[in-house]
Amino acid sequence: TLPEQECINHMSYSSQLEDSGCDVSNDYACGSLGIASDFHHSEHNVNTHKCWLERVLPLNLCCTSKESLTAPVQFLQHLLQIRKLSEGGILQADFGELENDSFTVCNSVSQLLDGLTVFYNSPKFPVSHFLTEAVCVLISLITDTKLSNHVLKKCFKKLEEFKKNLIQIILRNSSVNRFQALHAVSHTLVLLGRSNILRNSLISLLLSEVRQFAEQLLQAYQIQAMYDITQYENIFPLCMILEQLLQNETEESNVSSSDYDGEEKLKFLMNLDQIILHLSDEFPLFSLYLWRVSVLLNSAQMQ
């Protein structure tokens, strides 16, 4: 297998995850690790995020299984292995042909992204090693210098949609025992953010979502209106992902902070001090995260 050992070892926690501590009613069948494995069968508890994704994704993907992902993962693994062998001179393979005919590769990437989205949207089992392997194969493919130029041209838009879908899965998840699932999606976004090709746009997406929520929360607080407590809880994984990606960026001297969307950074920092000032008493933890992100943004700019 080709995924980096670091990616695989980092997800070994999947067999050690603890329950979030929330009680689950008797109507739900729980797995050995406390994951509600059959909650998707409850017709009277359809979440908004599930309906939203079902409108976006093809109908045949709504009942996807692990087997449906095996084929594209294995195909992409074999492709990367051939690339590795050809680099060593054992095989002579001209991958320039992908410039004109990359349908099979791009179709496999598309199937993999759609399947991963459905899995993360409706987790039916504790996060397995297979999903981590699939994500790492995807990262290896798009960072391969001989393949990425050909594949990215046709798959970049699909990759952007995948990142947006994962962010919405985090924000819209309202199940009682959701925190393990959110942790798994968050880890996938962090893995994607380790790629220099995907990191910049992911940072911009996260900055936009956190900024918009902060503005909505401030408006609700000023007029003493109700706010979505579930979304408030779900915004913290996005803050942690953003902080980690910015921290990694400042530690890498070869990556410029100006690479990602400067406009989104300016929007985030605009009036941020006033937002923190007004929210700090009522929402101290969220205000602290906003401040930490702003410090990382400013330190990156200074460097």
Q: Write down the pTM of the prediction.
A: 0.74
Identify which of 136, 141, 133 has the alpha carbon closest to the alpha carbon of residue 109: 141
For 122-150, b/e burial (b = at least 16 CB within 10 A) is bbeebbbeebbbbbbbbbbbbebeebbeb
Residues 206, 163 share a domain: no
Kindly state whether residue 32 falls inside one of the protein's structural domains: no
Query: Which tens digit of pLDDT belongs to each residue from 135-186?
Result: 999 999 988 887 877 788 888 899 999 999 999 999 999 888 888 888 889 9
222 and 131 share a domain?
Answer: no
6 or 215, higher pLDDT:
215
Burial class (CB in 10 A: 0-12, 13-18, 19+), 57: middle
Residue 302: CB atoms within 10 Å: 8
One-letter identity of residue 140: S
pLDDT value at 45 more than 90 = no
Rounded to an integer, the average pLDDT of 256-268 is: 71
292 has pLDDT over 60? yes
158 with 182, same domain?
yes
Residues 83 and 184 occupy one common structural domain: yes
State the Cα angle at 240 between 293 and 7, rounded to 5°: 125
* Together in a domain, 240 and 144: no
Cα 67 to its chain centre, rounded Å, is 22
Which domain-ending residue is among 150, 167, 194? 194
When the pLDDT of each residue in the chain is averaged and rounded to a whole number, the result is 77
Q: Which of 219, 248, 213, 250 is nearest to 234 (CA)?
A: 213
Task: Clarify whether residues 76 and 147 are in a common domain.
Answer: yes
Say yes or no: 211 and 185 in one domain.
no
State the total domains in the chain.
2
Question: In the chain, what is the straight-line distance between the N-terminal and C-terminal CA atoms, in Å?
Answer: 38
Domain limit, last residue, from 150, 169, 194: 194
CA atoms within 13 A on the CB side of 272: 23
Q: Residue 31: what pLDDT?
A: 36
Domain boundary among 194, 209, 234: 194
Q: Are residues 176 and 203 in the same domain?
A: no
Expressed as residue numbers, the domain containing 99 is: 69-194
Type of residue at 211: R
Query: What's the rounded mean pLDDT across residues 215-223?
Result: 94
Are residues 105 and 204 located together in one domain of the fold?
no
Residue 245 has pLDDT above 90, yes or no: yes
- Is the pLDDT score of 5 beyond 80? no
CB-CB contact of 169 with 48 (8 Å) = no
Is residue 83 a part of any domain in this protein? Answer: yes
Q: Which residue has 């994984």 as its token pair?
A: 237
How does pLDDT run across 74-126, given as a tens digit for each residue? 999 998 888 888 876 666 677 777 777 788 888 999 999 999 998 888 876 56
DSSP per-residue letters across 115-130: HHHHHHHS--SSPPHH
Is residue 59 a part of any domain in this protein? no
- Asked if residue 203 and residue 186 are part of one domain, the reply reads no
What is the average pLDDT across 254-273? 74
* pLDDT > 90 in the chain, percent: 39
- Pairwise CA distance, residues 248 & 9, whole Å: 19
Q: Same structural domain for residues 107 and 75?
A: yes
Residues 186 and 274 grouped into a single domain: no
Residue 70, pLDDT score: 87
Cα 129 off chain centre by: 17
